[in-house]
Amino acid sequence: MSRLKGRVTLASVAGTAGVSVATVSKVLNGRSDVSPATRARVQEILERHGYVGRRPEPVERDTVELFYQGVVNAYSVEVIQGVVEAGKVAGVDVVLNAHPPHPQTSSAGRAARWIRELIGNGRRAAIGITSELADADLAALSRARLPLVVVDPANIPQPDVTSVGSTNFAGGMAATQHLLSLGHRRIAYVGGPPTSGCNQARMSGFRSAMEAVGAPVPPEYIWLRDFLYDDGLAGGASMLDLPDRPTAIFAGSDEVALGILEAARARGLRIPEDLSVVGFDDTEVARLASPPLTTVKQPLREMGAVALRTALQLAAGEKVDSHHVELATTLIIRASAAPTHYTSIAAS
């Protein structure tokens, strides 16, 4: 079939499928009184031409879609809590979706189907946590005029995508400067995905602090995979098995830091006497760690709340001050980092 020209409407879809507008409407609304063959033909045309429909009339209580790609962990729980609490204050419901379209499998049809579900359910806006959306998803959201806000995007934030994060660069510098002030010079970084914007910023802060005192960072002192416990366990093992192992490690997240702590214990190393570790996030696991974790605090709940308020502003047609908001980070000093005797590599 040839592609429909101009704006795709119910009438144009009905004409192409050889059915009535009422039949197309029944398919969109999930009615059962349509034959399987007709339903399949109409759905194929809807998806092929990226039809997303119009926003329905406002429902009695507004809802916002909150989606998250990956494993729900201590970090995401804090952000989700912030979104939900802000939703209560604003009088909107928050619906969590753990299975949004994946960027590797998204197509125009799949994206359009996802957006039709959102607007069909009366969503006023969508909020993603550490999510990466394909161009097809962003285009479908734009056509439907459904606002999107992403917290800590999994890739570098695009200029036309509104996002909320923290001062990751400053946090990375603060964590590294703290270790340097304790006399460490052999400091490694174990962090998240290389394409992650927040990871790049944290690592850049780490490198800047090291360069400022002339402390070298050997290539083997950088280990990047993801922000989860198992990644810290593997990254910590890689660092601690080096012939010239680091005396301190800056971890890109608290979960990574916990994995490093376990890798150290498995090798008979004491924390912080033999190895100092600093994390990032200040989630509940940082306070429960043994020893309690020195870490960079992100205001995670406030980040979620800002995302919710910003999404509602956009849904109301209001302008926002910036497409990317960064909230301040703070170094929280606990017991996982201590002075070292290894100060011969470089002097501050």
Measured in whole angstroms, the distance separating CA 116 from the mean position of its chain's CA atoms is: 23
Q: Which amino acid is it at 31?
A: R
Please write down the HEC assignment for all residues of 117-155.
HHHHCCEEEEEEECCCCCHHHHHHHHHCCCCEEEECCCC
List all residues 6 or more positions away from 185 whose beta carbon is below 8 Å from its beta carbon.
Answer: 213, 215, 247, 342, 343, 344, 345, 346
CA distance 237 to 235: 5
CA-nearest of 167, 141, 136, 162 to 151 is: 162
The pLDDT tens digits of the residues spanning 253-273 come to: 999 999 999 999 999 999 999
Please name the CATH architecture into which domain 168-298 falls: 3-Layer(aba) Sandwich (3.40)
Is the pTM of the predicted complex or chain greater than 0.75?
yes
Measured in whole angstroms, the distance separating CA 1 from the mean position of its chain's CA atoms is: 39
Do the domains at 63-166+301-326 and 168-298 have one common CATH topology? Answer: yes
In CATH terms, is domain 63-166+301-326 a member of 3.40.30.10?
no
The pLDDT tens digits of the residues spanning 175-218 come to: 999 999 999 999 999 999 998 889 999 999 999 999 999 999 99
Examine the pLDDT at 97 and tell me if it is beyond 90: no
Selected residue with higher pLDDT from 288 and 22: 288
The pLDDT tens digits of the residues spanning 295-319 come to: 999 999 999 999 999 999 999 999 8
315 membership: H or E segment, kind and range: helix 300-315
Residue 163 tokens read as 């996002």
Domain chopping of the chain, boundaries:
10-45, 63-166+301-326, 168-298
